[in-house]
Structure 1
Amino acid sequence: MRKLFVAVGGSLLLASPLANADIVGVGASVSYWDSETSGQAMTGNDVTDLENDLNLDSDSNTNATLYFEHPVPLLPNVRLNLTSIDQSGRGELSTGYGPISAGTPVVSDLELQQIDLTLYYEVLDNWVNLDLGLTARDLSSELTIKSVGGLNASKTEVDAVIPMGYAAARFDLPFTGLSVGGELNAIGYGGDSVYDVTAYGQYEISLLQLQLGYRQISVDYEDGDDQLDIDIDGPFVSAGLAF
């Protein structure tokens, strides 16, 4: 499956139009994402509901982005992004999961980390901005479920490096510092799929960029006997600097 992801992703990059920035540009941002998780985790034939059975709540989110754009022809621009999510909960299993029986009170912890390396080209660069490219996403996720006061525990892990098509568009309102935009990383093949969608409004003053928006990550991925089919979404605020 991973070889198929690589093949499809590589084709997307080769198909991207070649363009480049007029000057060197560097930017960085950090954001707070108020995210919620829904969906299911599976191990073997066992299934648990992350929202209704585990009652997962957000403990901490880390989101940071760094990009570098240049005027060198043919070479892509570079963007790095880190997303780290830690959620925990206390609930009761409606069905058995691994060695844990149905009706057992449990505590659980979900850790999900994404490290993205994106190579992209600027297709349009005026009041309408359009970037196209390819993202290599290092996805690591671990769900641990433990019975309360007992010794039984189950661990569900998904670990993969996934190429994804990348597109970003922004529409500037001239002379106002205001703009609206969106970003998409996506891939789907053979029943597995990963989508990461962001929509935002931005205000820019001097070097400072402030964003308010909404982000949704959908992961439906099988790794051996373990599978995650989850959605993580919610509003975010972001502050960054662009040089």
Structure 2
Amino acid sequence: MKKTMLAGAVLTALVSTAAQADMLLGIKAGADYWQADADGSFAERGAPQQDFNFDSSGQGSVWASLEHPIPLVPNVALRENRIKENGSLTGANFNFGGQPFTGDTNAKADLSNTDFILYYEILDNDLVSLDLGGAYKQMHGSYTVTDASHSAKQKLDDGVVMGYASAKVGVPGLGLFGFADVMAGLTETQVHDYTVGLGWQFDGMILDTSLRAGYREFNFDADKFSGLNSNMKFKGFFAGVELHF
């Protein structure tokens, strides 16, 4: 009997501690699998852009955020996006990386990037939540072109300053919600990255779990970016999970 009472007391203390910590500090982490169709073109600055026939394949993102009650200090989120696709072009005749490419040519577009996000919670309740802030999308990918005899690679290593907004509308008592996350370029106005979808949240004693699914589009239309002109778009449906500690 004493052991049962002790175990109950420990469990109650753990739940109470987790609840108090959640009021003071919120940690979220998650991952998405994204089946994206890719299309677009790229070229060295000043040269005509080349339209490659890109494949469709799975992409991925992982993220984490930290929310706190300190006034005027923004919350922080970090998201890593793996975005890569292969393409081909028949009858090519162009220069890239200081080398000529002709005939059947292959390309690899690596638009992987890291999002650094600072935001404020404008609304936060079971019915509606709204976050507003800014972000910096640091590109760390490249374009690679290959033909039968040689290849050339140009890095994408600049960043884009972006506005950030995230909204969530829930159905109280059911755990169902709709959401939208939008990042819009400020220094490169034709760059955007947004998701819209539906989710289902399961509440637990220590952590909450959300299953999510929806549509995502990443448009990378940037001129003179790392010495390159790009007009690439990745779009398609995704599914993922988020944990809230």
* Cross-structure match for 2:216: 215
Where does structure 2 lack aligned partners over 5 or more consecutive residues? Answer: 1-21
| Aligned counterpart, 2:145 | 145
Which has the greater radius of gyration?
2
What is the alpha-carbon distance in structure 2 between the residues aligned to residue 113 and residue 224 of structure 1? 14
Per-residue CA deviation, residues 99-118 of structure 1 (Å, 9 max, x unaligned), is 3445x112222222111111
The one-letter amino acid paired with 2:130 is L
- Which piece of structure 1 moves more, 176-185 or 111-120? 111-120
Q: Distance in 2 between matches of 1:107 and 1:45?
A: 18
Q: Say if 2:76 is the partner of 1:75.
A: no
Residue 63 of structure 1 corresponds to 61
Question: Displacement, 1:140?
Answer: 2.4
The percentage of aligned residue pairs carrying the same residue is 27
Cα distance change of structure 1 residues 229 and 188 upon mapping to structure 2, 3 Å threshold: farther
Residue correspondences, number:
215
Structure 2: distance between partners of 1:116 and 1:47? 27
Q: Which amino acid counterpart does residue 194 of structure 2 have in structure 1?
A: V
- 1:195 is matched by which residue type in structure 2? H
Task: Tell me how far 1:56 sits from its aligned partner.
Answer: 3.4
Q: Deviations over 1:21-42 (max 9, x none)?
A: 9542111001101012111101
More moved, 155-164 vs 170-179: 155-164
Residue type of the partner of 1:170?
K
| Alpha-carbon contact 1:157-1:223 (below 8 Å) kept | no
**Structure 2 Cα separation of the partners of residues 171 and 224 of structure 1:** 39
Q: Which amino acid aligns with 1:117?
A: F
Alignment of structure 1 residues 108-147 onto 2, 5 Å: 108-126=107-125, 127-147=127-147
Unaligned runs of 5+ in 1: 1-20
Compute the TM-score of the two structures, normalised by the length of structure 1. Answer: 0.81
Match of 2:104 in 1: 105
Change over 3 Å in CA distance of 1:238–1:224 after alignment to 2: closer
Please give the root-mean-square deviation of Cα atoms over the aligned residues, in Å.
2.0
Q: Report if aligned partners of 1:108, 1:146 keep a CA contact under 8 Å in 2.
A: yes
Whole-Å separation in 2 of the counterparts to 1:142 and 1:109: 8
Give the Cα separation in 1 of the matches to 2:88 and 2:111.
18
- After superposition, the Cα gap between the structure-2 partners of 1:210 and 1:97, relative to the gap in structure 1 and judged at 3 Å, is same
> Which residue matches 2:194?
197
Contact 2:101 / 2:147 at 8 angstroms: preserved in 1?
A: no
What's 2:230 paired with? 228
Whether the 8 Å contact between 2:128 and 2:169 is mirrored in structure 1 is: yes
Q: Structure 1 residue runs of 4+, over 4 Å off?
A: none
Range moving further from structure 2, 220-229 or 65-74: 220-229
Matching residue within 217, 223, 240 for 1:238: 240
Give secondary structure in 2 for the equivalent of 1:35: strand
Displacement of 1:96: 2.6
Match of 1:15 in 2: none
